[in-house]
Amino acid sequence: MQLLTVFIPMHLFRTLTVLFCSALVLHAGDTPRKIAFSRESAIYVANLDGTAPKKIAVGAWPRISPDGTRVAFNTETAKTTERHIAIADVASGKITVLKAIPSDNNYGPVWSPDGLKLLFSTLQDHNWRLGLIDADGSHFRYFETQTKVPGDSLYSVAWTTDGEGFYAQDLNTLYHFTLDGTLKDKRSLEKLIPAGGFSSGAQFSIGADGHTLLIDADMDENMKRKDWDGPPPAIWTLDVSTSKATRITPKGFFGWNPAWVNESEILCNAQPEKSRQRSIYRLSVDGKKREVLIKNAENPSVSR
């Protein structure tokens, strides 16, 4: 059998090559970015602009994977005190509980930048520790520090952009660890964010530039609201290369649980004065733009 050889003029070959490469670029970028959020006791996924919300699970602390195809969360219902780490497939709705984790009390899963691992808080012998597990449910291990941390408890995990370490806090100190437990850096939170306090539920997130950390803090400010219990929350950026902190949300605007959209915008929870409803807002980092994205919703996370 003879092969048929087709000769294509060079100018036509170049045109076809450009069209083919353009099609590949369009195909690679045609997956729209998604957000995950919680509403009451349910987990939802929506488009980045807040449209087409879809309920995919029952639980709390949702975190969408970098590629937008999965949502990690912890199971949570009024019928049991147990909380397990689970992953919901966005397309199929299939939910997989990660059964290799030995504790029955876990929360706050955070995806590694490559979407292959999860860090989360897990209760062991009445102490909160960080657990690390592969996203397929294998290779569970406790994170072990080579440097003693007071109380051994770390919160507010924010992976570094290279996936080789993370930032976290113990209510008083900001730490930077590598995954093998090496302490790269530590700084006093009181000095970084004056008049700021921190809890185990505070959310941190590193920007795509690798050095701008989003932080939410409870502020020691004389701001009282009816139906609001606790100090007013505020969102800051911290340049970890210079230790310069900049407040994003103005005094009186109660914002928390921040997540990066891009280098100039974030999502966060906010509850305006005289409102009993928490909503997700889209804010510009310079404070010039502020809009409600999804009403009656909280705990946003954004795919890449």
Could you read off the pLDDT of 287-298 as tens digits, one per residue?
889 999 999 999
List the chain domain ranges.
34-143, 144-304
Tokens 């995919």, residue?
56
Bridge partners (DSSP) of residue 155 are 169
Cα–Cα distance for residue pair 275/303, rounded to 1 Å: 29
Q: Are 36 and 45 in contact (CB under 8 A)?
A: yes
**How open is the CA angle 263-267-273, to the nearest 5 degrees?**
135
Residues in contact with 183: Cβ distance below 8 Å, sequence separation at least 6, in sequence order:
145, 146, 147, 175, 176, 177
Percent of the chain topping pLDDT 90: 77
Distance of CA 217 to the CA centre of its chain: 16
Residues in contact with 252: Cβ distance below 8 Å, sequence separation at least 6, in sequence order:
223, 232, 273
Alpha-carbon distances of 246 from 192, 216, 242, rounded to whole Å: 10, 12, 12
What tokens appear for 302 in the block?
């954004």
- Predicted local distance difference test score (pLDDT) of residue 77: 86
Task: Read off the pTM.
Answer: 0.87
What single-letter amino acid sits at 166?
F
Q: Which CATH superfamily is domain 144-304 in?
A: TolB, C-terminal domain (2.120.10.30)
Asked whether this chain's domains 34-143 and 144-304 adopt the same fold, the reply is yes
Q: What is the DSSP string of 241-264?
A: TTTEEEE-SPTT--EEEEEEEETT
Secondary element (H or E) of residue 53: none
What tokens appear for 275 in the block?
């409102």
For 270-282, the pLDDT digits (tens) are 987 777 789 999 9
Residue 25 has pLDDT above 50, yes or no: no
- Predicted local distance difference test score (pLDDT) of residue 10: 52
Bridge partners (DSSP) of residue 72 are 63, 87
For 149-208, the pLDDT digits (tens) are 776 799 999 999 999 999 999 999 999 999 999 999 999 999 999 999 999 999 999 999
- Predicted local distance difference test score (pLDDT) of residue 229: 83
For 242-268, the pLDDT digits (tens) are 999 999 999 989 999 999 999 999 999
Q: How confident is the model at residue 9 (pLDDT cuts 50, 70, 90)?
A: low
What tokens appear for 177 in the block?
């660890």
Residue 13 has pLDDT above 50, yes or no: no
What tokens appear for 158 in the block?
């924010």
Cα–Cα distance for residue pair 235/125, rounded to 1 Å: 33
Q: Which fold has domain 34-143?
A: Neuraminidase (2.120.10)
Mean pLDDT, residues 213-242 taken together: 92
What single-letter amino acid sits at 159?
W
